[in-house]
Amino acid sequence: MRFAILLLLVFVVPSRPASGQIDLAGEWSPRVYNTHVDIGDYTGIPLNEDGRLRAEAWHPDQIDLPENLCRPHPIDHGLRVSVSQLRITPELDTETRQPVGLRLHVAWQEPEQVIYLDGRPHPSANAPHKWSGFSTGRWERNTLVYTTTHLKEAYLTRAGVPKSPKATVTTRVHRYGNLLTIVFIINDPAYLTQPYIRESSWIADPNQVIPPFPCEMSPDGTIVPAGKVPSFLPGRNDVLSEFATEYGIPLEAALGGAETLYPEYIKKMKTMKVVPRTTTDHFRRAQ
């Protein structure tokens, strides 16, 4: 019998599948380098015509609309474009106090996202959409992989490139020691011709303190007159080409599209018209 027990230990125990998931909980300090801050900078985004049309209609004064002053970003966008200190904590069932997933908290506008890891299904397609949607995940070896649905319409960039409520986001979270890398795979059948992949990283920072982010609408209103929604009508965006002109990029290339993502496009750009530059230090305002 002892021999049998020994064999059990030798063969069965090592043969069990390794669980191997990694601990993601903690405070994470952003090392997020973000471009796409200029109107007309849609570079590297696989936009379709509808997405481009919506982006071109966006006016920066829309940020000052009363309903937009305290509008949060969805967390996949908030983690990229704003003050993006990140806190990850276990999410416990309110009654049993058993873990059911993870909760992400981001600094700017304090969006929260719960990633359920307990196998629950996504809600019906008709369920309300929220800023951070509904997320369920699983582990692939040490990588947390989760899918977010039921997102509200939002933006892909700070300069008005849209993301539709049909979009879903698959997110991969990988911890390399004290480095956290998150890969976002955005699939938007309304505005993109193919999934849009982008990555960001954070550094473990146990002493990080994320301050509260109170946001109130000013009782005096905003600079935008009541009842007005700033926008550009199709073909009337008179600042659309500024980014391309100032960086010496063909306008067609600056407006994105799947073809522009690949190395072959470098040759094609050499055949395109580039408007004479008005400056060569446009970038300095961002330094």
Partner 1 sequence: MQPRRVALLVAALSLPISAHVAAQGAQAAPGAASGTARAAAPYDTTGYWVSEVTEKWRFRMVVPDKGDYTQVPLNPEGRKIANAWDPARDQASGEACKSYGAAALLQVPGRLHIYWQDDSTLRLDTDSGTQTRLFRFGGSPPPNAAPSWQGHSVAMWGGAEPRDRRDGQGGPVQDASGRLVVAGAQRKEPDHLKVVTTRMRPGYLQKNGVPYSGDALLEEYFDVFSDPYTRSTWLVMTTVVTDPRYLVEPLIMHAHFKKLPDASGWDPTPCRADEPR
Q: Which of 128, 202, 134 is nearest to 169 (CA)?
A: 134
CA gap 279, 53 in Å, rounded: 27
**Residue ranges in 44-63 that form contacts with partner 1 under rule CB under 8 A:** 44-46
**Residue ranges in 75-114 that form contacts with partner 1 under rule CB under 8 A:** 88-91, 98-102
Q: Is residue 208 a contact point for partner 1 (CB under 8 A)?
A: no
Burial of 142 (0-12, 13-18, 19+ CB in 10 A): middle
160 conformational bin, left if phi > 0, alpha if psi -120 to 50, beta if neither: left
Helix, strand, coil percentages (3-state) for the chain, rounded to 5, are 20, 25, 50
**Residue ranges in 147-176 that form contacts with partner 1 under rule CB under 8 A:** 147, 170, 172, 174, 176
- DSSP at 267: H
- Beta strand 112-116 with 154-155 is unpaired
Question: Nearer Cβ to partner 1, position 62 or 201?
Answer: 201
Query: Which residue from 22, 53, 57, 83 is in contact with partner 1, where contact means CB under 8 A?
Result: 22
Question: Nearer Cβ to partner 1, position 230 or 250?
Answer: 250
Adjacent-strand bridge partners of 174: 181
Kindly write out the interface string for residues 184-203 of this chain, putting x where it contacts partner 1 by CB under 8 A and - elsewhere: -x-x------xxxxxxxx--
**Residue ranges in 132-151 that form contacts with partner 1 under rule CB under 8 A:** 139-143, 145, 147
Q: Is residue 16 a contact point for partner 1 (CB under 8 A)?
A: yes
Q: Which window, 63-71, 211-219, 231-239, 253-261, contacts partner 1 (CB under 8 A)?
A: 253-261
Question: Nearer Cβ to partner 1, position 201 or 222?
Answer: 201
Question: Nearer Cβ to partner 1, position 18 or 125?
Answer: 18
Size of the site for partner 1 (CB under 8 A): 85
Question: Nearer Cβ to partner 1, position 193 or 222?
Answer: 193
Adjacent-strand bridge partners of 202: 30, 180
Alpha helix (H) residue ranges in the chain: 2-7, 13-15, 49-57, 66-69, 75-81, 242-247, 251-254, 264-269
**Residue ranges in 222-251 that form contacts with partner 1 under rule CB under 8 A:** 247-249
C-alpha dihedral, 254 to 255 to 258 to 263, nearest 10°: -10
Q: Is residue 20 a contact point for partner 1 (CB under 8 A)?
A: yes
Query: Which residue from 96, 218, 271, 287 is in contact with partner 1, where contact means CB under 8 A?
Result: 287
Report, in Å, the least distance between residue 228 CB and partner 1. Answer: 33
